[in-house]
Amino acid sequence: MENKVKISMLNQIYGKLLTKKQYEIIDDYYNNDLSLSEIAENNNITRQAVRDILKKGEKKLFEYEEKLMFMKRMLNQEKRIEKVLAELTKIQKNDSDQEIAQILESIKRELNCLV
């Protein structure tokens, strides 16, 4: 996953744990696509200060994810749901009762992992 997308997602998940300034600057940079200069001008601070706030905020976001792993669990859950949906599609295409029983058992196992 691209780093910008990852930081944007982490900011959505953990952003409220950052300072208000860190959250807003990360949001402006990664979601609103503002440059360091634009953010600096909007906040009446230097470009270097914006960069420092970004780096500290990013570091905090990665620390939170390392400890809490919400994003990792969410992405794993999405993969499992995609697998279940693929299995359901197989049911529609197959006619054999035994094949359907095996597919349903696989779906049950996957759904049990999500609970």
**In the chain, pLDDT over 70 holds for what percent of residues?**
95
Mean pLDDT across the stretch 46-61?
98
pLDDT at position 111: 79
Task: Give how far Cα 71 sits from Cα of 5, 14, 100, Å.
Answer: 12, 10, 33
Mean pLDDT of 79-85: 86
How far apart CA 3 and CA 51 sit, in angstroms, is 16
Q: Which CATH number fits domain 3-68: 1.10.10.10, 3.40.50.920, 3.20.20.80, 3.40.50.880?
A: 1.10.10.10
Q: Give tens-digit pLDDT for 92-104.
A: 666 667 778 788 8
Model's pTM, two decimal places? 0.76
